[in-house]
Amino acid sequence: MLTVRQHLFSFYHMTIHKEGRTLLVVLFIFLIAVNMLFAYLFPTNILVLYSVVIFSTIIFLTILQFFRSPKVRSELNERYVLAPADGKVVVIEEVADTEYFSDKRKQVSIFMSPINVHVNRNPVTGVIKYFKYHTGKYLVAWHPKSSVDNERTTFVIELNNGIEILFRQIAGALARRIKWYVAEGDQVTQGEEFGFIKFGSRIDLLLPLSAEIKVSIGDKTKGGTTIIAELPKP
């Protein structure tokens, strides 16, 4: 478990993700304007002025921490499937996939709360063989039907040994901005960023039945670091 000092070190040694920079500038200007307005309307009411400043600071820091983008150094290994995101494991089960494989797979789902880092990272190294964006609903991310009913993207990466891994970005009740930076045919590297989801969401991994799952329900994951599963030898 990280100490307070380690958390502070981590916070001050990270960048702000590009998806949040414009929003943060606009929010900062807006909050300054709100504070100036209250200073004009209540110039002598210290309680009101301090309350507005504290509330504005909390709002700004909350949004700021959401868009943090820490540096991650992944140890590449073709036998391992790494976590595509920070969050908590909420589903481990066998499912029947009908979108790409048309057979049964092991599904591992990671829920990202609003306080998690929302950078999405490639779980394996390989070539993107399939990509599709789906419009859909905005059910809460832990809803059983969110994997097939919500707005989502589907990626399939083929490894050098021919094994294919499917994963999905899934929008939640708050997350209505799914971003991705790769396309079908791209060569991608394990641990590198492939996308971002704003304000809470979920990622599903569909793995071969022969994969050995290395996590349990409730486990916390770190994108590009935590080993989700070990793949069979070719």
pLDDT tens-digit profile of 62-75? Answer: 777 777 777 888 88
69 noted as active-site residue: no
Which long-range contacts does 217-220 make (Cβ < 8 Å, 24+ apart)?
217/89, 217/90, 217/91, 217/92, 218/88, 218/89, 219/88, 219/89, 220/86, 220/87, 220/88
pTM greater than 0.85: no
Half-sphere CA count of 31, side-chain side, radius 13 A = 18
Exactly one of 74, 109, 146, 201 is catalytic; name it.
201
User: Shortest CA distance to 16 belongs to which of 54, 82, 58, 66?
Assistant: 66
Max avg pLDDT among 81-85, 141-145, 197-201: 81-85
Sign of CA dihedral 67, 176, 72, 147: positive
pLDDT tens-digit profile of 83-95? Answer: 999 999 999 999 9
The pLDDT of residue 8 is 45
